[in-house]
Each structure stands twice: as C-alpha cells, then as structure tokens.
Amino acid sequence: MLDEGYINDASGNKVICHHLFVVATSNAGAKFVRQQVANGVKGEELQKSVIDFIQKEGLFSPEFLNRFDGVVVFEPIEGENLVKIAELMLRDLRENLLKKNINISFGLGLAEKVAKDGFDIEFGARPMRRVVDLVIGDVLGKAIIENKILSGDKIELLPEDGKDNYSWKKI
C-alpha cells in the first residue's frame, strides 16, 4: 500500500489508496513518555524527545518513520479529563437504566471515585469501563435481581470508602 498505492481486498479486487488516510498506533516509548511527563516535559518538546528516543533506540527503522507525514504523541490522561470520562460512562449507565424505567442520580464525589478506581498508569482510562460495568453493574444488578430496585424506582448511587466500593439508596 505504501509503495504501490493500492491493496487487494478479500475478494482479490484492487483497492486504490491514493487518497487514503492511515492511522497507525503504537505503545513504543510509552514508559519513556510517562517519565518525560513526570519530569514536566510537554507539548512539542515531548514530541521531539519521544521521536529522538524511538530513533536512538531503533524501535522503528528510519525508512519506516519517513513514510509517515506526521507523528502525534499522546500525553497521559490526568485529573479533570479522567473525571469527565467517568461522567460520560455514568451518563451511559443512566441511559441504560432509564430504558428499564429506573431513574438514577449520582452522589457527590461519585465520578471522582470512579475516575480514581478506574485509572491505571499503564492502561489509562480503559479500566474505568470495568468499574462502571462490572463493579457498579454488579451492585445494581444484584439489587435488581433481588427486587430491591424495581421499575419506576428513583435511586442514588453513592461512593463508599475503599477501592471498588459503591452503594445505592432509594430516593
């Protein structure tokens, strides 16, 4: 594709790729990025230092890197952005429960706790989905199965002390 400008699809048909936009991702240098960010390096300086590191370490050949028009280095997610991601995931949970005619509100500090419980330095915000779907989902799912939460109920989800510890109450 990079040399000839086309690829073949599963049926053997030629697919022209002259106007194709390709995004390739890699975790190459991720540990280095975390170290640089911890030392306060950000923005263009971070991008340059990461590219220099990747070239120096030989993680990708110069010929391979030259085929890309640009390289974007993503800085780790932190603080306020993690809470916003948690709020979006909790909003999805609310919408799913509304389909079952269960109205849920979220206690003070819930999104912050979900962000804290669901953040991992290696995996970023991905584990947050596990907290919402599995941990909180188990708490609410068990209550629904036991008929403690019924269609038409209004409940509040509350953060509790300790990792992965949540409760609910009817309001």
pLDDT band at 31 (very low <50, low <70, confident <90, very high): confident
Residue 65 has pLDDT above 90, yes or no: no
At residue 133, φ and ψ (nearest 5 deg) are -75, -45
Residue 149 has pLDDT above 90, yes or no: yes
Condensed to tens digits (0 to 9), the pLDDT of residues 80-137 reads: 899 999 999 999 999 999 999 999 999 999 999 999 999 887 777 889 999 999 999 9
Q: Do 118 and 132 contact (CB within 8 A), yes or no?
A: yes
Domain ranges of the chain: 6-65, 79-170
Q: Do 42 and 71 contact (CB within 8 A), yes or no?
A: no
**Mean pLDDT computed over every residue of the chain:** 89
Mean pLDDT on 128-152? 95
pTM of the model: 0.69
Instruction: Give the single-character DSSP code of 133.
Output: I
Name 65's Cβ contacts closer than 8 Å, sequence gap at least 6. 51, 54, 55, 71
pLDDT band at 3 (very low <50, low <70, confident <90, very high): low
CATH class of 79-170: mainly alpha
